[in-house]
Amino acid sequence: MQRREISAALDKVKPLRFGENKTLVVIGGTSGIGAATARKFALRGLATRIIIVGRDAQRGHDVAQICSCYAPKGSEPAVSFIQKDVSCLDTPGELTTRDCTGFAVQVISRFVISHLLVSANAMAPDGVIISVGNPGWTMDDLSANDFSLALWEKTAWTRMSVFAAQMLRDSSVMDACTLEQNGRYHQRVFHLNPGLVASETFLYGQLPFPIGIARRIAIMAPAAVEPDDYADVPVFVAMFPEEAERIGQGRLLDKNFAHVDPGKWAQDEMHRAEVWEFMERAAGASGPELTSRGQPSVVVAVLRPPSAYPNADVVVDLNAAPGYGETPELGARIRDLCELVAYSLKLTAGSKLPPKAQIYIDAVDILAEDHTPYAVLRSLRSILAAVNASKPGRLILSLPRDSRFLPLVTPASLSPGLILITPHNPRAVEAMAQRLLLTPEDPRFFSLLDRFSGDTLALAGSGLEVGEPSSYAVQILIRKATGGAKAIVRAVEGYTAGKPMPLEQVASFKLLAEEKRTTTHADLNLPFNLSLTDRQKSERGAVPLPYAHEGEGADLGMGMDWSDDEEDDEI
């Protein structure tokens, strides 16, 4: 597929309509293909928000201003620039050395930011991650303990060989990241090769002789592509990922938009596992600095043991049943849980929580059974008061749909800092879609779901499986800070094997109205017709009928004359 065809296909795409939302995040968007991609998205009106991340503040603000001016009237995106030097990551080991600065810019930054967005659920499951590099190249002797190539450089003879090794290393690691991300993420991850690019800010003086001179001459040739000419390719991939994967027959594409096999080094599963572990350490070290989602997490373990929550900052263990190894202060811990959390976080005594604190209670209904529901509700109100003071903190409760404690925490007036998670059987959601023709987009869907209408329909139909299902349709209720019933947002997502996923993967929404019905003449509003063949028509005509008429009126008198020719006065 040629770039001309891609541009023609994008010309047919209409700008986003009101209510459609797409966010574009460009890492290294101050120049080159990154800046050109941001301009193309703005020019075609295909993004409602554009975030540009880069090091050069002046160029970044210039690109943001151009994007705002390029956008068609009525489709102006919200453009923002974030100045960030992704080569200054606070990462362990060799990432802090001088030799690894280029590697941090070219490779690690791409993985870290996309990994943080996916891990924080800030990217939609149908999102697209695109890296522009050199897929298919390989450095067979690359070691996971020497990504900086410091040891390899000691045996190198020339500066040109070091430069070539760095390019092969970057391609090998990016291919490995692309393969691993595609296997671990719901999002599609592409690795594209633009070929030779005539970038306006490329520093040719930093290239070793004679590569710098050769590249300077090469970009003057017609083979070099301008950033704005190539930018339509990542735009097309981002807008039509399924079509791009079908045309390119893969997610690693060369400059001709054709599939290219990953390098030999990246095909090794052991190498990919080493890269993933290395990158996750880099993402973990850079997380609080690069994202605003560094909230302290507190888990109140009631149903499951504390060991089930290894990633929580603080785990408050309330797993002991009353009367069995109960500590004397357990009741006090329930009533004054907020102070316990503050103490666990090593804060000053009182109910003040750290900013953006996230508190999760895995089985608050069991606490209500062990103690009184209103005592637990009083404790929740204290926690919510502290959570609201540490904006934007949240209290997250997981409750089964048949819990008697659920009606106490569902009123809209309770608190804007509360999130409720309620699992449902996927068959119940399917029954509502098939029998009531209701989907989660319908405002009546959630009210009927809360009344067990889906369970009743499923039991009356094909049946609801007995026992715990392997997948769940999880209802999520989020209250906005404004409060009130209109500020409640409800959603239903799928969940299976410990991972969230789109609802369509665990429940079918094939409505009865969409099922194929037998087409009849009555449905088509056509005159009656037996659709007989010529032979059938002739045989039908040979059948004797008990009556016959050739367009003449029927003799209703059957040979009897009822007319009175003569008047008769006799009675």
H, E, C per residue of 191-251: EECCCCECCCCCCHHHCCCCHHHHHHHHCCCCCCECHHHHCHHHHHHHHCHHHHHHHHCCC
For residues 534-553, give the mean pLDDT.
Answer: 69
CB-based burial label for 407 (10 Å; 0-12, 13-18, 19+): exposed
Per-residue exposure over 20-43, b if at least 16 CB sit within 10 Å of its own CB, e if not: eebbbbbbbbbbbbbbbbbbbbbb
The whole-number average pLDDT for the span 419-434 is 80
Token output for 112: 């870290």
Give the model confidence (pLDDT) of 10-61 as tens digits.
888 888 776 577 889 998 888 889 899 999 998 888 888 898 888 788 888 8
Instruction: Tell me what pLDDT residue 48 has.
Output: 86
pLDDT reported for residue 359: 85
Grade residue 267 by pLDDT with cuts at 50, 70 and 90.
very high
Mean predicted confidence (pLDDT) in 481-507? 72
Per-residue model confidence (pLDDT) at position 179: 92
For residue 437, the Cα-to-chain-centroid distance in whole angstroms is 25
What domains appear along the chain, each with residue ranges and CATH number?
A: 1-84 (3.40.50.720), 86-290 (3.40.50), 295-409 (no CATH), 425-468+489-539 (no CATH)
Question: CA 518, CA 511: separation in Å to the nearest integer?
Answer: 16
- 248 burial level (CB within 10 Å; 0-12, 13-18, 19+): buried
| Mean of all residue pLDDT scores within the chain | 73
Q: How far apart are CA 397 and CA 385, in angstroms?
A: 15
| pLDDT interval class at 289 (50, 70, 90) | very low
- Amino acid sitting at position 256: N
**Could you tell me if residue 129 is left (phi over 0), alpha (psi between -120 and 50 degrees) or otherwise beta?**
beta
Percent of the chain with pLDDT over 70: 65
* pLDDT > 90 in the chain, percent: 6
Secondary structure E strands in 18-114: 23-27, 49-54, 78-83
Distance CA 199, CA 314 (A): 49
Cβ atoms of 26 and 60 within 8 Å: the answer is: no
State the pLDDT at residue 334.
52
Is the pLDDT score of 385 beyond 90?
no
pLDDT higher than 60, residue 329:
no
Phi, psi angles (nearest 5°) of residue 301: -85, 110
pTM of the model as a whole: 0.50
Structural contact between residues 132 and 255, judged by C-beta atoms closer than 8 angstroms: no
Q: Identify the residue whose tokens are 């005509």.
A: 541
Q: Tell me how far apart the alpha carbons of residues 119 and 365 are, in angstroms, rounded to a whole number.
A: 29
* Range 494-506 burial, b when 16+ CB lie within 10 A, else e: bbeeeeeeebeeb
Please give the pLDDT value at position 18.
Answer: 60
pLDDT one-digit tens code per residue, 66-122: 888 878 877 788 888 887 665 544 443 333 343 445 565 567 777 878 887 887 777
Q: Please state, in angstroms and rounded to a whole number, the distance separating the CA atoms of residues 468 and 276.
A: 34
3-state secondary structure of 118: helix
Label residues 170-192 b or e (16+ Cβ within 10 Å = b). Answer: bbbbbbbbbbbbbeebebbbbbb
Which range, of 6-10, 220-224, 538-542, averages the lowest pLDDT? 220-224
Give CA separation, 556 vs 10, 553, 561, in Å: 75, 9, 10
Question: What pLDDT is recorded for position 189?
Answer: 93
**Packing angle between helix 241-248 and helix 232-239, nearest 10 degrees?**
110
